[in-house]
Amino acid sequence: TPMNKITVAQVCERAGYHRNTFYLHFHDVYELLEDVESVLLQDVATCVESCMVRLTKDAGKIARIAALKDVVLFYERNKRFIVVLLGPQGDPSFALRLKEVLKPLWKRYVIDQGESQRSEQEINLILEFTLAGSLAMISQWLQDPRGLSAYELGHLVYDTAIKNAAR
C-alpha cells in the first residue's frame, strides 16, 4: 500500500491498539512515519559511525569489508522498514535523508582517508554516487538476498563503491 493511502485505522488494527492510544502519541500517520524514520536514521548513523571508528584502527580491505558486513546486517535486521521506505511505494524523502546522515561519515572516514586533493564539488559528487549506488544495492539485496551473504554484499559494496572513492 502506498504511504499516502495508509490510514490511522489500518495502523491501529495492524498494531492492535485503539485509535485513542494512537492519537495520544501521534497527530497522524505522517507523524508516526517521521518518528519511525528519525529513529531508524539515528540508529543507522550510530551503526555506521561505530564501524567507521573501528576502521580508524585498521583500514585494510578485510576490515572494511567486515565493517560493511556489520552495516548490511543492520539493514537486514531492519529490513521490514527499509524495504518499505526505500521501495517504489515508500517515502522518497527517506533516501535523501539517509544519504544526508551518511555523507559526513563517509566523507570523514572514507574520502578523507584516501584523497584530500579533490575539490569540494568532486567530493560531493563522489559521495552522491557511492551512497546512491550502495543504498540501491542494499535495497535490492534486501528484496531478494538469495545466494549472497551479508559478507559477500559488503565485499561487493566495497569493490564497487568504497575502494574507488577512497583513492
* Span 72-116, pLDDT tens digits: 888 888 888 888 888 777 777 888 899 899 888 888 777 765 556
Element (H, E) at 50: helix 29-57
Q: How far apart are CA 105 and CA 3, in angstroms?
A: 29
Of the two residues 30 and 158, the one the predictor is more confident about is 30
Section 23-44 average pLDDT: 92
With a pLDDT cut of 70, the percent of the chain lying above it is 92
Mean pLDDT of 61-69: 77
- Grid cell 575539490 in the structure block, residue: 119
Query: Residue 42 pLDDT more than 80?
Result: yes
pLDDT confidence of residue 130: 86
Asked if residues 166 and 106 have their Cβ atoms less than 8 Å apart, the reply is no
Neighbours of 103 (CB within 10 A): 17
Cα–Cα distance measured from residue 116 to residue 154, given in angstroms and rounded to the nearest whole number: 25
61 contact partners, CB below 8 Å, separation of at least 6: 158, 163
Mean pLDDT, the chain, as a whole number? 83
For residues 130 and 136, is the Cβ–Cβ distance under 8 A? Answer: no
Q: How confident is the model at residue 19 (pLDDT cuts 50, 70, 90)?
A: very high
Amino acid 109: pLDDT: 74
| Measured torsion, CA atoms of residues 34, 38, 41, 42, in degrees rounded to the nearest 10 | 180
